[in-house]
Structure 1
């Protein structure tokens, strides 16, 4: 039913990606329930964060540095 997708700016499904956002928002309670059952322990969360965040930052800086040298800025 099209009226379910009406938003402040008109029909939401006409704008790319917003239809998916509406559908995801509707299913949010189910997503929350599933996420609660899959929640990692604090120890595992911290360990994964300490492994991924510095690695991601280093890779991002290297990518920016490489792009700067390729572009020649």
Structure 2
């Protein structure tokens, strides 16, 4: 089902840059559709500890509280 959803969206967005968030470990699925990893991104989470546990942010960066 995921493949069908992504294909349908990309068919309609042919002349646009498309950015998405992938859950950690799911990047390979999107690489099949020619998505590439970005070199930089920033995020601010309400529960940064949970985001780190889930692999969404690098534990080496804690923002202004560090």
Q: Normalised by the shorter chain, which TM-score bucket?
A: under 0.3
Larger Rg over CA atoms: 1
Which gives a bigger RCO, structure 1 or 2 (Cα 8 Å, sep 6+)?
2
The TM-score, its normalising length taken from structure 2, stands at 0.26
Q: Which has the higher strand share?
A: 1
Q: Which has the higher helix share?
A: 1
The TM-score, its normalising length taken from structure 1, stands at 0.24
